[in-house]
Amino acid sequence: MTGDTGGHVAYVLDAAAAQARLADVSKVTIVTRRFDEPSLDRIHLVAHEPVSPKLDIRRISDSDSQYLDKSQLLDRLPELADSLAALLAGMSPRVDVIHAHFADAAWIAGQMARRLSIPFVYTPHSLGIDKARCLPDTVAGYGQRVAQERHAIASADGIIVSSLDEAQRQVPNYGVCTEGRLEVIEPGAPVCAAADASAARYLLATLLNDPTRPIVLAVARPVRRKNLVALAEAFADCPALSDRANLVIIAGDHHSPRLDDEERDTLRALRHVRDRLPGRFALPPRHDRALVQSLYAAAAESGGVFVNPALHEPFGLTLLEAAQAGLPVVATCHGGPVEIVASIGHGLLVDPNVPADIATACLGIIDDPDAYARFAEAGRRHSGRLDWTRYAQRSRHLYRRLCRDATATHRRPEQASTLPAGAA
């Protein structure tokens, strides 16, 4: 796990897999940067990775073989654009449309769209203006990112966002007209096999005094915006909850050499709270996807809850994973979770800026058997409302519409070949 690892990675993989399953789609290719990083999986060095008969991953190179995080990629974009152009020139059949995820990829996609006279679609996932608004002391560091995002919004032929909040509030903050180009297409629930709780139970037996208590579970990267420290402090400051339940927070790989200062500070603060709660707060130092799925199952079996306390959450795929497990949720009232919880009905919304409300909501669900059963059943029954097949069909419809329009539906800015620069 790195600072660039998150729900958007699962989004891209699951979306591409669903699109490839459509009968009238001949090929889907995921393109990402190739790098050599000993601390990460060696698969990132593999130039071509087949995934399924109609889906593959291609990794393109630039002159630096090291892993670089998003903030270090700007100077590499022209090289990566040239690498992608070379890749596309050798692909048959010809590419019909490019779908870019995040603004840096959108700049590259824009170059390909101009060279090949094909449309490109942009999905922002997480927008800088809202991130800066959640953390006002970081505003100065977001100028370049916001400029890139504004450029991507202005130049894309189509824009896909996950929630009405993004469409009606976040994207309009960029001051760019998107009429006729912006569509809300909700992601699907992650494709998860029925999980066995035994692996989680085995782990927690070594970390908790009484692992049979209800589990308050959170899974997120250890960054300030995810608000994990506030959740831990809310749990510790509510004896009624901390005497009744266990807190389990999964927050990345604590020993990764790629942790930045923000992540290290967050983990340090979480350990400080854990020291106040011996045997009642588990903070495993590493995890994999199988363990997370097992923890969802164990939390549901224990009569616990899943918490997403983020200051702002663009969508919230973890809430869908919890729903599939029959695990009630307590989620932030800022961003995509508002629509997810309204659609599925499997929990409560809280203001993440009021930690006491987080604890109260958790305790309220755990201590109310009728509400618990209602939320758990709603999750199991309704998680399928957000379906990747539906996403694939709707995105394909958008791609087709754009491809049919010989004028590319939207005139790109004259300076589209220039890297965006400047502050918001």
The pLDDT of residue 414: 44
Q: Compute mean pLDDT per 10 residues along the chain, 424 residues long, and list them.
A: 65 96 97 90 94 98 90 91 96 94 97 95 92 68 88 98 94 96 92 82 97 98 96 98 99 88 96 98 93 97 98 92 96 95 97 98 98 98 91 97 70 53 45
Integer Cα distance of 392 and 188 in angstroms = 9
Classify residue 197 by its DSSP letter.
T
The pLDDT of residue 143: 86
Name the β-bridge partners of 246: 215
Contact 218, 259 (CB under 8 A): no
The pLDDT of residue 132: 80
Smallest CA-to-CA distance from 360 within 330, 389, 387 is with 330
The pLDDT of residue 258: 81
Q: Which two tokens stand for residue 223?
A: 């960054």
- Provide CB contacts within 8 A for 275, sequence distance 6+: none
- Taking CA atoms, 26 is separated from 54, 58, 87, 92, 188, in Å, by 6, 16, 18, 11, 21
Contact 355, 237 (CB under 8 A): yes
Integer Cα distance of 102 and 127 in angstroms = 9
Contact 370, 341 (CB under 8 A): no
Write the DSSP assignment of 321-365 as a string of letters. HHHHTT--EEEESSBTHHHHHHHH--EEEE-TT-HHHHHHHHHHH
Integer Cα distance of 216 and 221 in angstroms = 17
Residue 94 falls in which region: left (phi positive, over 0), alpha (psi -120 to 50) or beta: beta
DSSP reduced 3-state for 419: coil
Smallest CA-to-CA distance from 260 within 221, 207, 313 is with 221
- Taking CA atoms, 16 is separated from 12, 35, 148, in Å, by 6, 22, 24
Integer Cα distance of 399 and 421 in angstroms = 29
For the chain, the structural domain boundaries read 7-188+389-404, 198-385
Largest CA distance in the chain: 66
The pLDDT of residue 256: 85
Integer Cα distance of 241 and 172 in angstroms = 40
The pLDDT of residue 220: 96
Integer Cα distance of 203 and 196 in angstroms = 13
Q: Which two tokens stand for residue 214?
A: 């209800």
Edge-first strand listing for the sheet containing 55-60: 28-33, 55-60, 48-52
The pLDDT of residue 313: 92
Contact 110, 120 (CB under 8 A): yes
* H-helix or E-strand spanning residue 80: helix 77-89
The pLDDT of residue 405: 84
198-385 has the same fold as 7-188+389-404: yes
The pLDDT of residue 141: 64
Integer Cα distance of 278 and 242 in angstroms = 11
- Provide CB contacts within 8 A for 289, sequence distance 6+: none
Write the DSSP assignment of 3-20 as a string of letters. TT-SHHHHHHHHHHHHHH
382 residue type, one letter: H
The pLDDT of residue 415: 41
| CATH number, domain 7-188+389-404, options 3.40.190.100, 3.40.50.150, 3.40.50.10420, 3.40.50.2000 | 3.40.50.2000
| CATH number, domain 198-385, options 3.40.50.2000, 1.20.120.530, 1.10.150.120, 3.30.1330.50 | 3.40.50.2000
The pLDDT of residue 140: 56
How many Cα atoms occupy the beta-carbon half-sphere of 308 within 13 Å?
A: 29
